[in-house]
A and B are shown apart, each in its own frame.
Chain A
């Protein structure tokens, strides 16, 4: 085996996750989560629901919702489709683990490196989101999620704690543009 001395870089290109502390709003790059998408196969919805409950220990969330139990968090992304997050350290090959756990009723796709995740939050969060997207963030309860457009970039906004803590998943190739939009919006609020 050749010896590779390779270092992983974050979506913003750094060697450590970037953190921006702005007045009332914190933006933190998060590289600690592995991601997979799950789709329940056609006409096997009941079989899938049972397999998912057995494997994850919770029922898959309904439209606009997030559900979780350590180590997994499931995010509804569409009809019969979800994203699943798990800690990267223990679940780097999350797609394989989930596929093995769910069996034939589900189609699972690796997503980890396709996305950049920013954990954002603070008292100014709703005001910042008002400037960023059409989503009614004020009305989002905790454990809710929705896909939307931020700076013309298709993103998934996950509400961890109502009006306070959010995660934004955006395409990794547009991470810098998304980060720029977040910083610009946060500065315009402050």
Chain B
């Protein structure tokens, strides 16, 4: 499988480590009144789609960047690769 890194171009998937669903970017507010429930959902509940899935990959044997990879879990076709940093900033995060 080849992942088309947004900065470095096509790279072998062997260089990457898979973390999981990209919703991990949306860490709940720990001060919210319903924080306990939100963290339960954040930690344990995952969608398991047969089809398009947004997921986090780490370019460990490369530039050590976190990527959001949109992958079809049925065909393994990758339709989009973004820097997780850019995705997080687009959602108003500071880092």
Residues on A lying within 8 angstroms of B by beta carbon are: 42, 63-64, 76-79, 81, 134, 146-149, 154
Instruction: Give the residue of B11, B14, B15, B65 whose beta carbon is less than 8 angstroms from that of A79.
Output: B65
A-B contact pairs, 29 of them (CB 8 A): A42-B95, A63-B63, A64-B7, A64-B8, A76-B63, A77-B63, A78-B63, A78-B64, A78-B65, A79-B7, A79-B65, A79-B83, A79-B85, A81-B63, A134-B11, A134-B12, A134-B14, A134-B15, A146-B8, A146-B62, A147-B61, A147-B62, A147-B64, A148-B15, A148-B62, A149-B14, A149-B61, A154-B60, A154-B61
Q: List which B1-23 residues lie within 8 A (CB) of chain A.
A: 7-8, 11-12, 14-15
**What class of interface size applies to chain B in its complex with A?**
10 to 19
Give Cα A147 to B95, complex, Å: 24
Give Cα A154 to B63, complex, Å: 11
Which residues of B lie under 8 Å from residue A134 when comparing CB positions?
11-12, 14-15
Q: Tally A-B pairs: CB < 8 A.
A: 37
Give Cα A143 to B11, complex, Å: 19
Which residues of B lie under 8 Å from residue A64 when comparing CB positions?
7-8
The 6 residue pairs across chains A and B that have the minimum distance between CB atoms: A63-B7, A78-B63, A134-B12, A149-B61, A78-B64, A147-B62
Give Cα A134 to B95, complex, Å: 31
Q: What is the interface of chain A mostly: helix, strand, loop, or mixed?
A: strand
Within the complex, what minimum Cβ distance (angstroms) separates A107 from chain B?
15
Which residues of B lie under 8 Å from residue A42 when comparing CB positions?
95
Which residues of B lie under 8 Å from residue A146 when comparing CB positions?
8, 62
Also in contact, A149 and B15, with CB within 8 A (given A79-B83, A79-B85): yes
Which residues of A lie under 8 Å from residue B15 when comparing CB positions?
134, 148-149
Q: Which of chain B's residues has its CB closest to A76's CB?
A: B63
Which residues of A lie under 8 Å from residue B12 when comparing CB positions?
134
Within the complex, what minimum Cβ distance (angstroms) separates B42 from chain A?
24
Most B CB contacts (10 A, CB to CB) among A42, A63, A81 go to A63
Within the complex, what minimum Cβ distance (angstroms) separates A128 from chain B?
18
Within the complex, what minimum Cβ distance (angstroms) separates B48 from chain A?
30
Instruction: Give the residue of A79, A81, A148 whose beta carbon is less than 8 angstroms from that of B61.
Output: A148
Most B CB contacts (10 A, CB to CB) among A76, A79, A81 go to A79
Sample of 8 further A-B pairs with CB below 8 A, known A42-B95, A77-B63, A134-B12 = A63-B8, A78-B63, A79-B85, A81-B64, A134-B11, A146-B8, A147-B62, A147-B64
Within the complex, what minimum Cβ distance (angstroms) separates B25 from chain A?
16
